[in-house]
Amino acid sequence: MSNYQRDTCRLCQSKNLEVVLSLEPTPLCDAYVLAERLKEVQETYPLDLYLCRDCGYVHLTYVVDPENIYTDYLYVTTSSMGLADHFQLYSKEVLRRLNPISDSLIIDLGSNDGTLLSFFKKQGMRVLGIEPAREIATKTTNLGVETLPEFFTSEMADKIEEKYGFAKIITINNLFANIDDLDDTVEGVCKLLSPDGVFVMESSYLGDMIKNMVFDFIYHEHLSYFSVKPLLKFLDRFNMELIDVQRVPTKGGSLRYYIQKNGGPRAVSAFVDEMVVYENDHRLDLVETYETFSNEINARKSDLTNMISKLQKEGKTFAGFGGSATTTTLMYHFDLCDKIEYIVDDNPAKHNTYSPGCHIPVLSSEEIYERKPGYVIMFAWRYFEPITKKHQRFLDQGGHFIVPLPELEVI
């Protein structure tokens, strides 16, 4: 497929859609490039959030061809601060709740470098990963976690079931939101899941995104911004039911959804209804909620722009901290491309690359001690506490960190 603009709701197929948040168009958020590719123009794409007025689902309608994003994907789980520890706890919690017998098959869709599956494997489970990033899939298989280097489809599910059998648990983490054809994915899950099996889906939560000002988590990979109410209606179409929901702190606030086939052996938790009440109280399906959110985002932009302008007049220089996907959304919407001299990052894989579109160099975090910028804007603001702790020496030497969200703060 090529890039396209869809005109129907991804969950209920309604055409009753309304734009509720328009961010600055950006290139692909994680398309950091090497020096030899600096002359290539990186195209920008619309970044408009739509609300389905019929089912309350919030999503991007502009779809970038996933082949352009994932086939040569660079991101690995272990590069995200704290995510490996999160997946270790995740594996224990899922096994505690679902209690599968030893050697049960667990399949992870979008398994990346196999971090989660490796923890399940250590606890006596049979595991299989599905990961379209070919290089990552091959490397993971060679390290002992079998991983198929393909996009998951319902057609592929038939072949997997024939070779490996039914899965007791199918997981998908921070990827369900990245899929355009969710119908096909859920059809595939239904084919692969044993009658008493559970589909566990973890994804950033729309309610927390708004509450915690995590708007920079909006980018082209993330097509969906899920909440409970629209998912209940969607799952019902496939004779599946949401049996429990668990709040988790990753990605600025996420939910872990436990889903079984209708009539499965597990009772529905009261927490599902509690989440529906929460969403009604916080009006997640009303346009006015997003107008308020948009105004708050632009107020933060204005505060930061005014601060930078004042400091520039005093001759201060600026760097950024964090060469991640969220950095691209933040830099473009806050108009920071021409204000930052360089970005530093603790991840060596990002060193000596250039940021998407703006082409700002990404260097080792040690450079802030050599170059001594007056101010470092914390693009990785959700991790500002561990970062400032690690780089206390920068502050001791007279440097300043600017934390742009959720409220502007200078450290």
pLDDT tens string 356-374:
999 999 999 999 999 999 9
pLDDT the model gives residue 83: 75
pLDDT reading at 46 higher than 80: yes
Distance CA 270, CA 46 (A): 39
Kindly report, residue by residue over 74-110, the tens digit of the pLDDT. Answer: 555 555 667 788 889 999 999 999 999 999 999 999 9
Average pLDDT over residues 324-341: 96
Average pLDDT over residues 3-16: 96
Name the percent of the chain lying above pLDDT 70: 97
Average pLDDT over residues 234-259: 95
pLDDT the model gives residue 298: 96
User: Edge-to-edge, what's the strand order for the sheet holding 17-26?
Assistant: 17-26, 45-52, 58-60, 224-225
Q: pLDDT tier at 17 (50, 70, 90 boundaries)? A: very high
Kindly report, residue by residue over 252-278, the tens digit of the pLDDT. Answer: 899 999 999 999 999 999 999 999 999
pLDDT the model gives residue 70: 63
63-72, 137-146, 266-275, 290-299: segment of lowest average pLDDT: 63-72
Q: pLDDT tier at 133 (50, 70, 90 boundaries)? A: confident
pLDDT reading at 385 higher than 60: yes
pLDDT the model gives residue 250: 86
Distance CA 258, CA 231 (A): 12
> What is the pTM assigned to this prediction?
0.93
Please give the structure tokens belonging to residue 286.
Answer: 């009303």
pLDDT reading at 377 higher than 90: yes
Q: pLDDT tier at 245 (50, 70, 90 boundaries)? A: very high
Strands 254-261 and 193-204 turn out to be antiparallel
Average pLDDT, the chain: 94
Kindly report, residue by residue over 160-204, the tens digit of the pLDDT. Answer: 999 999 999 999 998 999 999 999 999 999 999 999 999 999 999
Instruction: Spell out the residues 6+ positions from residue 122 whose beta carbon is closer than 8 angstroms to its own.
Output: none
- Is 307-410 in CATH node 3.40.50.720? yes
Distance CA 258, CA 99 (A): 14
Distance CA 45, CA 161 (A): 38
State residue 114 phi and psi, 5-degree precision.
Answer: 80, 15
pLDDT the model gives residue 77: 53
pLDDT the model gives residue 72: 55
Domains 77-285 and 307-410 share a fold: yes
pLDDT reading at 73 higher than 60: no
Distance CA 342, CA 320 (A): 6
Instruction: Give the residue extent of every domain in the chain.
Output: 77-285, 307-410
Instruction: Spell out the residues 6+ positions from residue 285 whose beta carbon is closer than 8 angstroms to its own.
Output: 51, 56, 229, 279
**Homologous superfamily of 77-285:** Vaccinia Virus protein VP39 (3.40.50.150)
Kindly report, residue by residue over 139-152, the tens digit of the pLDDT. Answer: 999 999 999 999 99
CB 386 within 8 A of CB 65: no
pLDDT the model gives residue 116: 95
